[in-house]
Structure 1
Amino acid sequence: IYRHFPSKAALRDAVAERWLHRVSTPLAAIAQEPGSAVERLHRWFEQLIALKRQKVLDDPELFATYSAIAQEAQGVVQAHIDELVSQVAAIVESGISSNEFKVTDPQVAAKAVFQAMVRFHHPAHASEWSDPDIDTDFAQVWRLILAGLVVG
């Protein structure tokens, strides 16, 4: 293994990066689609949440292992978060351009929206994802976010 990776940390980072890339790639496609920014932003978060929940449900032990690796690969994780926030910012920026969103700084709005949704996608909250009210909670947070973004 060390012929391909100079250290255990490099191997860990590569595993984390590959795992996180499987999340960011389908989201990037949604961020780049044409159409309503409101609909894309909602679908983007639904997809993010679905991807994370699927990983927990498919194999909780593997999810726990990846989460542990990710905790040690902070640089990779931060780059992943930055990429996701940039995708959200691109959607918000298109919403500003199409007069759907009233915010003026897409990066600031994207970061705030991403942070507001953290309960629904961050691995630290995985134990809450089986709560029968989680989808209702998501819908309530979504409506609140939308009220802060939408022109009208």
Structure 2
Amino acid sequence: MRFTPATLPLLAVLLAAGSLAGCVSPLEEAARRAPAELPGLSDSQLRHCAGEPVAKNREGADELWSYFRETSRSATATSDVGYTPTARGSSSYEYFRHCEAVFRLRGGRVVAVELNGRIATGRPAPEPCGAIVETCLRLKGR
């Protein structure tokens, strides 16, 4: 491809979009790391870092500790549709996200972590799960 002064703005937009695509929040990163790094925590460590589970169940010899986190955020969208000031507008809305986190314990130790974070439309969203596990990752990193 030959670059001309007319193609430079397009190139800048493409480079910026590519760099943003790789950005993840610290909570998303925590959610990605948790299944690999949290097995081995004791039940008392899990209670200390994540709190009391909302539910405890048994499955064979395993205990399942379940946690739930729901968050909401407000956002404002501005529309520049049209060519006159009267065609512009903005609207505010709230969107909800939640996470169901299940820790499988065997013999008093975490052996598996399953995280299921979603937004209201059903699309995966790991950030609310990160809020559940971030303190546990810091505890495990000591």
Larger Rg, first or second structure (1 or 2): 2
**Structure with the bigger percentage of strand:** 2
Relative to the length of structure 2, the TM-score reads 0.28
Which of structures 1 and 2 has the larger relative contact order (alpha carbons within 8 angstroms, sep 6+)?
2
Relative to the length of structure 1, the TM-score reads 0.27
